[in-house]
Structure 1
Amino acid sequence: MNWLAHLFLSDDDIEHRIGNIIADWVKGEARAQFSPGIQRGFASHRLIDLYTDAHPVVARSKARIESPFRRYAAILVDVFYDHFLAVDWEHYCKTPLREWTASVYAQFATHGHRLPEQARAGLQRMADDDWLGSYATLDGIEATLRRMSRRLSRPNHLGETAPQLTAHYAELRADFHDFFPELQAYARAVRTARSEFIMAVIP
């Protein structure tokens, strides 16, 4: 899943949300400097990615991506699923998307000073350009893919792949709605297991 889903599936506390987001920017030993709350976000991000990558519905979506773009299928399905979460937001959240994203950006603004420059700058760009809300539009998806293509180290055609969404829109949308409730249940189970572990070790 991409950033909107990771944030949506996070705990409400800001450190967990930040860890879920900056997991893509902070790797390896650099993570040790962060608070336990942010590190829990790192762990949640990884678990959600592992569950998503192994799910048969996600595999079905990846198989819909046509050659020569199949090599980007994992990235595309992550981004396309965030689009469907944004488009059908009211199915999963009572708070309107614009109001929800504004509250997340406000949280980032109050905690950004605690983060390394790269992560702080990334969160600021996310808020300034409303990356989360932009998933709801096809133009926003194209802009996201072009932005991601510039982050890859080698020349690539990722920025040209947005038409794969419109070419398989209904099928991918159905896949998302088959998959996402199961991902929500998994994320809840992870949170419950963590809470039970904490209660077990606290005297």
Structure 2
Amino acid sequence: MMNLEQVKARFPEYARDIKLNLSTVLGGTGAPGLTEAQALGTALACAVAVRSNELAAVVEGIAGDKLDRARRDAARAAAAVMAMNNVYYRFTHFVGDAEYGKLPARLRMNVIGNPGIEKAEFELYSLAVSAINGCEFCIRAHEKVVREAGIGREGVQSAARIAAVITAAAGVLATVSDAEAAVAA
């Protein structure tokens, strides 16, 4: 398993800013308004959401015992359920017919009501994943719950920044991996 320094060493020069931002958001002070566990759980949910097993492993390595099994499971659950919900609710928003919003979703999403961790923290993970997936309806809903739970704008912004950096880093790593595979072939 690669650690953060090994992963960053794979970044080409054109992605220097992404590499620096990755160090910042995964560092102890890179997410103002969030606890270290909240920031790392958010980063894990984002890495899973962008399908980067490499970044997920790095985040879990950094987290060590700062993220217990319940938080790790909740981060993965947030990525999974938001993959479904963001598509569905983005559709109901984009279709432009309010009647769709009145129909029952008929989608199981029990984990949102019982995530195994504090609801606000799960909502924070869900907010970041919804930002990645571009679902305005879900972003607004999760941001409202997070703010009502006492996480300030700075914490919400940190979650969005983590989502942005993890997404960009995953894209760079995928491109580098594709190039490495092409050279090896």
- TM normalised by structure 2 equals 0.31
Highest relative contact order (Cα 8 Å, sep 6+), 1 or 2?
A: 2
